[in-house]
């Protein structure tokens, strides 16, 4: 859930409520046993439905399993098989396109919308068109844009009318246009929420540095580049981080618009995983793809956060 | 002002897909032609389109099931999360921080890491394609955020309230139901709304863990309706998409502030 991830990167390390040291001289023994009772239902359901499946996927990724015969341990064969699997290589490439595309375009446009509408009279109304698509589901988004991007459809009409190339491109059928045009659809949806986040950031910027800079004669681009942008940096980290994690797991929109096709050439890792496991019935190999997805997400997020932290340390 | 002009222009651009959606979802199903998508039709075919989609994809039972999932799962999850937060913060559970990390750690697993074992386990436990099965998994996915928010919320409540109630002889359970849970209503409401939207919009769990029209959630139904093999026309698919998106769009527009705050939930 992207919302929850937002909070992880945002909140400071949670203070250890009820951590050690506070327990000295405890009198309320009933409360202690009651505590276990209160925390157990949540802990059990999370352990059973989130932790256990996670661990089992790790185990399955080292096996060959068709769902009928019992899993056969094959070591790292699933992982070495990747290098010979053209579908997986395409999928990794597409996923990287998603990562780059969605961390740059919707974030940039979101920032632009936030800056343009911040402090402007009627800003809430002017922002509304960008907010509307956010509440749409990935499936709803796929339905709308699948219609717009169909061959001879609205996208072709617009490009033709403007005299631009692409009037006869079948966007969803040609590589790499299918992935790129789905990124456009995603941008349409995500810009609003990024704008909202940046707006929250702009509102929390202290007034003094801005005033001071204005007194010194900084305006427009210079004011933004040297004052606003550095002050927004912590929030930019969050917004980019959120986009990063979400883009690596892209599934719904691709599934609804192209089902990863034609010929598997618009698959992302999440789609590849679904297809290998639930269409081809290769649960071991599917688990290995899920592992790669998870490890990639973890590695990229970690690398990104470390870079950000280091950059901020250098500043201070 | 230039800023408003640019913003207005971009906004108009953003509304083009909405316009196309509305125009073509309201077009009678048989009048659809790729060459005339830009012009509204004189006849309104929206309700017939919805009816066609309703029958083709079994939307009625699917909507009822989805409503159950998206209301009941978050509701159960916030109560479980509130109980956990209460145990950790108010009852000062030993190793409370680690319990909290255990619960919140549930958010870091990508869905893809859960699907295969859930599918296999559900198949053997007779939970596959059952409402109870989906209810259970959605609840589990909703618990970590609920626990996170509730733990933070209870941290801000004076401990003396608990002590006073204890001294008065109230049981731990009673204090939870009568004092702490009612106090938490605003925070609970925000979590409920966020999680409602999340469950309503889910496609992947529905796709993996259900099959029949009556059990599968709406987004899964929409996905199969829009696939090339369903034989439904464009206006029918668009009308279905519009109807099924309305609940979250309305909830979202009504509660924009909550969403904005939800994105910064650490502040609760």
Look at residue B31 and tell me if it is in a domain.
no
- Residue range A285-302: mean pLDDT, rounded: 91
Residue B5 located in a structural domain = no
Contact between chains at A3 and B89 (C-beta distance less than 8 A): no
User: Closest by alpha carbon to A286, among A58, A95, A97, A72?
Assistant: A58
Least confident of A40-44, A51-55, A152-156: A152-156
Beta bridge partners of residue A72, listed in sequence order: A64
pLDDT at A20 over 70: no
Establish if B229 belongs to a structural domain.
yes
Number of domains in chain B: 1
pLDDT band at B262 (very low <50, low <70, confident <90, very high): low
Average pLDDT in the A216-231 region?
A: 84
Section B15-43 average pLDDT: 87
Give the per-residue pLDDT at A204: 82
Residue ranges of E strands in B100-144: none
The answer to whether residue B27 is domain-embedded is: no
Across A21-47, average pLDDT? 75
pLDDT of B229 above 80: no
Helix (H) or strand (E) run with residue B55 in it? helix B46-57
CB B180 within 8 A of CB B89: no
- Report the sign of the C-alpha dihedral through residues B255, B250, A103, A91, in that order: positive
Q: Is residue B14 part of a domain?
A: no
> Which range among A287-291, B141-145, B228-232 shows the weakest confidence by mean pLDDT?
B228-232
**pLDDT above 70 for A16:** no
Candidate from A57-61, A275-279, B48-52 with smallest mean pLDDT: B48-52
Rounded mean pLDDT, B210-229: 89
Q: Choosing among B3, B5, B7, which should be mutated to test the A contact, i.e. which has the most A CBs within 10 A?
A: B7
Q: How confident is the model at residue A278 (pLDDT cuts 50, 70, 90)?
A: very high
Give the per-residue pLDDT at B135. 97
- pLDDT, residue A30, reads 67
**Percentage with pLDDT > 90 across chain A:** 39
For the cut 90, the answer to whether the pLDDT of residue B233 exceeds it is no
Please state the rounded mean pLDDT for residues A185-208. 88
Q: Tell me whether A231 touches chain B (CB under 8 Å).
A: no
Q: Residue A275: pLDDT band by 50, 70, 90 thresholds?
A: very high
What per-residue confidence (pLDDT) applies to A315? Answer: 66
Asked if A199 and B264 count as a contact pair (C-beta separation under 8 A), the reply is no
Minimum mean pLDDT among A4-8, A220-224, B219-223: which range? A4-8
Only one residue has tokens 């207005």, namely B8
Average pLDDT over residues B202-220: 94
* Residue of A258, A123, A101 lying closest to A187 (CA atoms): A101
Rounded Cα distance, A60 and A284, in Å = 5
Out of A10, A112, A287, name the one closest to residue B116 (CB): A287
Residue A19 pLDDT more than 60? no
Please give the mean pLDDT across all residues of chain B.
89
Cβ–Cβ < 8 Å for B198, B142: yes
Q: Determine whether the interchain pair A290/B11 forms a contact, defined as Cβ–Cβ distance below 8 Å.
A: no
- Residue B34 falls within a domain, yes or no? no
Check residue A277 and report its DSSP letter.
I
ipTM of the predicted structure? 0.89
Of the residues A20, A37, A39, A56, the best mutation for testing chain B's interface (the one with the most B CB atoms within 10 Å of its CB) is A39
CATH assignment at residue B80: 1.10.3720.10
Which region among A28-42, A65-79, A243-257, A290-304 has the lowest average model confidence (pLDDT)? A28-42
> B39 lies in a domain?
no
The kind and range of the H/E element at B73 are helix B59-85
Task: Calculate the average pLDDT of chain A.
Answer: 84
Burial class (CB within 10 angstroms; exposed 0-12, middle 13-18, buried 19+) of A133 = buried
Residue B190 pLDDT:
84
pLDDT at A280: 92
The pLDDT value recorded for residue A143 is 92
Q: Are A233 and A118 in contact (CB under 8 A)?
A: no
The share of chain B scoring above pLDDT 90, in percent, equals: 55
The answer to whether residue B8 sits within a structural domain is: no
pLDDT (tens digit, 9 = 90+) per residue, B40-67? 888 888 899 989 888 888 888 999 999 9
Count CA atoms closer than 13 A to B235's CA, side-chain side.
Answer: 26
Distance from CA of B62 to the nearest CA of A (A): 15
Chain A partners within 8 Å of B39 (Cβ) = none
pLDDT of residue B186: 82
Angle, alpha carbons A251-A256-A260 (nearest 5°): 65
Which site among B91, B111, B163 would you substitute to test the A interface, given the most A Cβ atoms closer than 10 Å to its Cβ? B91
Q: Mind giving me the DSSP string for A198-211?
A: HHHHHHHS-HHHHH
Its domain, for residue B184, covers: 51-267
| Contact status, residue B200 vs residue B134, Cβ threshold 8 Å | no
Could you tell me how many residues make up chain B? 268
Q: If you classify domain A85-315 with CATH, what class do you get?
A: mainly alpha
Q: Which residue of B has its CA nearest to A114?
A: B7
- Pick left, alpha or beta for residue A28 (phi over 0 → left; psi -120 to 50 → alpha; otherwise beta): beta
Rounded CA separation B89/B150 (Å) = 9
């Amino acid at each position: 859930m992207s919302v929850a991830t937002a909070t992880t990167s945002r909140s400071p390390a949670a203070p250890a409520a009820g951590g050690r040291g506070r327990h000295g001289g405890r009198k309320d023994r009933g409360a202690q046993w009651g505590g276990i009772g209160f925390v157990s239902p949540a802990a059990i359901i999370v352990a059973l439905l989130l932790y256990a499946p996670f661990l089992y996927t790790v185990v399955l990724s080292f096996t060959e399993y068709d769902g009928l015969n019992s899993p056969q341990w094959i070591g790292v064969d699933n992982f070495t098989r990747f290098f010979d699997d053209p579908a997986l290589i395409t999928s990794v490439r597409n996923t990287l396109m998603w990562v780059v595309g969605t961390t740059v375009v919707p974030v940039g446009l979101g920032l632009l919308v936030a800056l343009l509408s911040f402090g402007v009279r009627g800003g809430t109304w002017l922002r509304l068109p960008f907010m509307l698509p956010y509440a749409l589901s990935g499936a709803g988004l796929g339905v709308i844009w699948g219609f717009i991007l169909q061959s001879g459809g609205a996208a072709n009409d617009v490009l033709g009318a403007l005299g631009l190339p692409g009037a006869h491109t079948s966007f969803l059928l040609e590589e790499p246009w299918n992935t790129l045009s789905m990124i456009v659809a995603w941008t349409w949806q995500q810009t609003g929420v990024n704008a909202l986040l940046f707006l929250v950031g702009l509102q929390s910027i202290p007034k003094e540095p801005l005033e001071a800079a204005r007194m010194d004669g900084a305006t427009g681009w210079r004011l933004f580049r040297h004052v606003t942008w550095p002050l927004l940096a912590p929030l930019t980290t969050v917004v980019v981080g959120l986009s990063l994690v979400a883009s690596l797991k892209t599934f719904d929109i691709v599934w609804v618009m192209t089902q990863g096709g034609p010929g598997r050439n618009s698959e992302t890792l999440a789609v590849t995983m679904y297809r290998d496991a639930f269409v081809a019935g290769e649960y071991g190999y599917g688990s290995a793809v899920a592992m790669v997805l998870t490890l990639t997400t973890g590695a990229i997020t970690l690398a990104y956060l470390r870079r950000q932290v280091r950059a901020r340390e250098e500043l201070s | 002002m230039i800023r408003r002009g640019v913003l207005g222009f971009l906004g108009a651009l953003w509304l083009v897909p909405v316009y196309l959606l509305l125009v073509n979802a309201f077009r009678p199903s048989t009048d659809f032609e790729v060459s005339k998508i830009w012009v509204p039709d004189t006849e309104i075919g929206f309700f017939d389109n919805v009816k066609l989609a309703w029958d083709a994809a079994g939307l009625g039972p699917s909507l009822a099931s989805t409503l159950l999932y998206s209301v009941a799962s978050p509701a159960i999850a916030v109560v479980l999360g509130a109980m956990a937060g209460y145990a950790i913060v108010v009852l000062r559970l030993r190793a409370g921080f680690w319990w909290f990390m255990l619960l919140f750690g549930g958010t870091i697993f990508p869905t893809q890491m859960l699907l295969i074992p859930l599918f296999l386990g559900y198949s053997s436990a007779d939970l596959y394609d059952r409402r109870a099965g989906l209810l259970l998994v959605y609840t589990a996915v909703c618990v970590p955020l609920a626990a996170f928010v509730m733990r933070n919320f209870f941290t801000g409540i004076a401990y003396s309230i608990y002590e006073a109630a204890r001294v008065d002889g109230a049981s731990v359970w009673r204090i939870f139901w009568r004092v702490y849970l009612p106090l938490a209503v605003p925070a609970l409401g925000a979590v409920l709304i966020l999680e409602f939207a999340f469950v309503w919009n889910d496609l992947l769990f529905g796709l993996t863990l259900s099959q029949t029209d009556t059990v599968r959630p709406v987004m899964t139904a929409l996905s199969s309706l829009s696939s090339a093999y369903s034989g439904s026309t464009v206006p029918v698919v668009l009308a279905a998409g519009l109807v099924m998106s309305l609940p979250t769009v309305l909830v979202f527009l009504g509660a924009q502030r909550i969403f904005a705050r939800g994105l910064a939930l650490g502040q609760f």
